[in-house]
Structure 1
Amino acid sequence: MVYRPNPFFATSSSFFFPSVGDQVDKAIDQTKQFGKDAQSKAGELASKADLKYQDAKEAVKVTVAPPPTGVDLYARFALAGALGCAITHGALTPVDVVKTKIQLEPEIYNKGMVGGFRQLIAKEGAGALLTGLGPTVVGYSIQGAFKFGGYEFWKKQAIDYLGIDKARENRQAVYLGASAIAEFFADIALCPLEATRIRLVSQPGFANGLAGGFARILREEGPGAFYAGFGPILFKQVPYTMAKFAVYEVAVENILSATGKSKDSLTPGQNTALSLGGGVIAGMAAAVISQPADTLLSKINKTKGLPGQSTTSRLIQMAGQLGPSGLFTGMGARLVMIGTLTAGQFAIYGDIKKALNATGGVEIAAVPK
Structure 2
Amino acid sequence: MSTDQRKPLPFVANFAAGAIAGVSEILTFYPLDVVKTRMQLETGKSTQGLVGTLRSIVKEEGAGRLYRGLVPPLLLEAPKRAVKFAANDYWGKTYLNVTGESKMTQSLSILTGCSAGATESFVVVPFELVKIKLQDKTSTYKGPMDVVKQVVRKDGLLGLYAGMESTFWRHLWWNGGYFGCIFQVRELLPKRESQQGVLMNNFISGAVGGFAGTVLNTPFDVVKSRIQGAERVPGVIPKYNWTYPALVTIFREEGAAALYKGFVPKVLRLAPGGGVLLLVVEFTLGVFRQALGPPYI
Of residues 258, 261, 285, the one that matches 2:212 is 285
- Superposed, 1:209-220 pairs within 5 Å as 209-220=143-154
The alpha-carbon deviation at position 109 of structure 1 amounts to: 6.7
1:118 Cα deviation after fit: 1.0
For structure 1, the 5+ residue unaligned runs are 1-66, 363-369
The match for 2:125 is 191
Correspondence for 1:116 among 44, 53, 56? 53
Question: C-alpha distance in 2, partners of 1:236/1:216?
Answer: 26
User: Cα offset for 1:319?
Assistant: 5.0
Is 1:208 the equivalent of 2:142?
A: yes
Structure 2 Cα separation of the partners of residues 119 and 107 of structure 1: 18
**Map of 1:354 onto structure 2:** 286
Offset of residue 334 of structure 1: 1.4
Corresponding position of 1:329: 261
Instruction: Give the drift of 1:229.
Output: 0.7
Question: Which amino acid letter does the alignment assign opposite residue 120 of structure 1?
Answer: I
CA distance in 2, matches of 1:138, 1:275: 26
After superposition, give the CA deviation of every residue in 1:306-325 in whole Å (9 maximum; x if it has no partner): 42526228735455433311
Give the Å deviation of 1:223: 1.8
- Deviation for aligned residue 1:204: 5.0
User: Are the counterparts in 2 of residues 109 and 119 from structure 1 also a CA contact under 8 Å?
Assistant: no
CA, structure 1 residues 163+68, in 2 after alignment: closer, same or farther (shift >3 Å)? Answer: closer
Taking a change above 3 Å as real, the CA distance of residues 143 and 241 of structure 1, as seen in their structure-2 partners, is same
Tell me: CA distance 1:90–1:215, structure 2 relative to 1, closer, same or farther (3 Å): farther
Q: Distance in 2 between matches of 1:121 and 1:199?
A: 19
Cα distance in 1 for partners of 2:31, 2:229 equals: 18
Distance 1:175 1:214, change over 3 A: same
Between the aligned partners of 1:126 and 1:237, the Cα distance in structure 2 is 29
Q: 1:233 is matched with which residue: 163, 167, 174?
A: 167
Q: Given the alignment, which residue of 211, 227, 236 partners 1:300?
A: 227
**Deviation string, structure 1 residues 132-161 (Cα, Å, up to 9, x no partner):** 111111223221111100101110111122
User: 2:24 pairs with 87, 90, 98, which one?
Assistant: 87
- In structure 2, how many angstroms separate the alpha carbons of the residues matched to 1:225 and 1:176? 32
TM-score, scaled to structure 1: 0.71
Q: Is the 8 A contact 2:45 2:258 kept in 1?
A: no
| Paired amino acid for 1:252 | R
Classify 1:87/1:273 alpha carbon distance in 2 versus 1 (closer, same or farther; 3 Å).
same
Q: 1:208 to 1:354 in 2, by over 3 A?
A: farther
Query: For 2:263 and 2:43, how far apart are their aligned partners in 1?
Result: 12
Q: How does 1:1-369 map to 2 (within 5 A)?
A: 73-105=10-42, 110-165=47-102, 167-168=103-104, 171-203=105-137, 205-255=139-189, 259=190, 261=191, 266-306=193-233, 307-309=235-237, 311-312=241-242, 315=246, 317-318=249-250, 320-357=252-289
Give aligned pairs, total.
284
- Alpha-carbon distance in structure 1 between the residues aligned to 2:161 and 2:139: 22
Rate the CA distance shift 1:318–1:359 in 2: closer, same or farther, 3 A: farther
The question of whether the paired residues in 2 share the 8 Å contact of 1:143 and 1:190 is answered with yes
- TM-score norm. by structure 2 comes to 0.87
Gaps (5+ residues) in structure 2?
1-5
| Residues 117 and 174, structure 2, Cα contact 8 Å, conserved in 1 | no
Shift of 1:290: 0.5
Q: Distance in 2 between matches of 1:338 and 1:322?
A: 25
- The whole-number CA distance in structure 1 between the counterparts of 2:84 and 2:19 is 9
CA contact (8 A) 1:295 1:329 kept: yes
Q: Which residue of 1 aligns with 2:3?
A: none
Q: Residues 108 and 202 from structure 1, CA distance in 2 versus in 1: closer, same or farther, beyond 3 angstroms? A: farther
Matches of 1:329 and 1:268 in 2, distance apart? 38
Name which of structure 1's ranges 138-147 and 234-243 shifts more when overlaid on structure 2. Answer: 138-147
Question: 3-state SS of the aligned residue for 2:230?
Answer: coil
Deviates more, 1:124-133 or 1:332-341: 332-341
- Kept after mapping to 2: 8 A contact 1:276/1:344: yes
